[in-house]
Amino acid sequence: MSESPAPHPRRVAAILLAGGRGARAGFARPKQLEMLGGRPVLRWSLDALADYQGVSDGVLVANHDVMAAVQPLPEGWISADPGPDRQQSVANALTALSDLPDEMMVLVHDAARPGVDAAVIDRLLAALDRAEAAIPVLPVPDTLVEAADGEAGDVVARDRLARVQTPQAFRLGTLRRAHAKASGAAASDDAQLVRSLGVTVAMVEGDARLHKLTYADDMAILRGLLGTSDMMRTAVGMGYDVHRLVAGKTLWIGGIEIEHSHGLEGHSDADVALHALTDAILGALGDGDIGDHFPPSDPQWRGAASHRFLSFAGERVAAKGGRIGHLDLTIIAEAPRIGPHRVAIRNRIAEILAIPAGRVSVKATTTERLGFTGRREGISAQAVATIQLPEI
């Protein structure tokens, strides 16, 4: 790789785009929140841009759930809502930077490329001394052919082709003019919009480490390029809960309301299924139990919906860089019959934890009329949680 120029001394703004859901990657959560080397993918780019010496202002464009996962933002950074497409997301960021002068330089980067480093930024900003826009590119190493109906066609000459990466650098005024002129015209990146003004876009050497996270398999590639192992260990936790059935109360099991003559008695809504699952997850984390985090002596939890407890446990897993691999829940009740509600319960648990329903198992059984459940005095639940956590 060629030698990089010295860091640029001028004031620079940065726009970091993290508004997409990344559906093609197939992750249970937005791909920018997947863990890479012990921190979310988004954090790699955010830290690199915020730490660059010339960057004084930044805008993170992201949905509220993504934004919450990376708080607090670095000093000098603000947030903006994403638009329905990339182009509108950049436009929203430019609006957020409306008080900055046109003479400033601005970097626009996709959070799905976590491998950004100072050397690429140095080359981009140096190029703005001779152009109003610059992009990092890599050569195309593979043979390219036209494809139609599953058959290989003619070879496409690759000597005039390049792979375009981000971040891309612009004079702020130039980028503003390009977006103002676009008027809804679609473009896959900002360099295309700038070229429509007749502005020359300079090319600088990119970096293979700027590989884009598009599919799940890209995570393995990024780990190799960025030198992370992400070794994970499996942890298992168990949970058990029981509540008495009483007349005149609403019955909540597994996060859904079930019509029945009796409900469960407890300080919260007494959802035995979600309580058992919460304890199982906390147990796998070695993080106490539901009573430690939501003590029944605290009046704020009186009548609380138990999905809040389960959601909290899931957030604790994510905060430790882990993921929920599988949940196995058994509900023990003589009445009401749980079978007709199993699918709804399974889907509700998956929704609360933002995981695929295929990772949740819900079973129901009775005690053959033996014991307190057999006498219809109460309902109990057992749960096992299997999670993956980064090696310490």
Give pLDDT tens digits for 341-388.
999 999 999 999 988 899 999 999 999 999 999 899 999 999 999 998
* Per-residue pLDDT band at 296 (split at 50, 70, 90): confident
pLDDT of residue 9: 56
CB 6 within 8 Å of CB 54: no
196 or 21, higher pLDDT: 196
Q: Which of these ranges, 2-6, 35-39, 274-278, has the smallest mean pLDDT? A: 2-6
Q: Running DSSP on this structure, what letter comes out for residue 71?
A: P
What are the DSSP calls for 180-231, one per residue?
HHHTT---SSHHHHHHTTT--EEEEE--GGG----STTHHHHHHHHHT----
**CA distance linking residue 82 with residue 80, whole number of Å:** 7
CB 361 within 8 Å of CB 311: no
What are the DSSP calls for 136-184, one per residue?
EEEE--S-EEEEETTEEEEEEP-TT-EEE-S-EEEEHHHHHHHHHHHTT
Indicate whether 13 pLDDT > 80: yes
* Residue 332: strand, helix, or coil: strand
* Per-residue pLDDT band at 392 (split at 50, 70, 90): low
Phi/psi zone of residue 22: left (φ > 0), alpha (ψ -120 to 50 degrees), beta? left
pLDDT of residue 103: 93
* Residue 346: strand, helix, or coil: helix
Q: What is the pLDDT of residues 27-58, one digit of tens each?
A: 767 888 888 887 889 999 999 999 998 999 99
Instruction: Name the percent of the chain lying above pLDDT 70.
Output: 94
- Residues 6 or more apart in contact with residue 299 via CB below 8 angstroms: none
pLDDT of residue 287: 93
**CA distance linking residue 242 with residue 198, whole number of Å:** 71
pTM check: above 0.85: no
Helix/strand number for the chain, H first, E second:
12, 19
Q: What is the pLDDT of residues 97-137, one digit of tens each?
A: 999 999 999 999 999 999 999 999 999 999 999 999 999 99
Indicate whether 218 pLDDT > 70: yes
Neighbours of 159 (CB within 10 A): 7
pLDDT of residue 1: 43
* Per-residue pLDDT band at 23 (split at 50, 70, 90): low
- Residues 6 or more apart in contact with residue 233 via CB below 8 angstroms: 388, 389, 390, 391
Indicate whether 95 pLDDT > 60: yes
All structural domains of the chain: 12-226 (3.90.550.10), 232-390 (3.30.1330.50)
Q: Shortest CA distance to 139 belongs to which of 103, 164, 175, 114?
A: 164
pLDDT of residue 188: 79
Cα distances (angstroms) measured from residue 251 to each of 239, 271, 330: 20, 8, 17
Strands 55-62 vs 35-36: parallel, antiparallel or unpaired: unpaired
Q: Running DSSP on this structure, what letter comes out for residue 11?
A: -
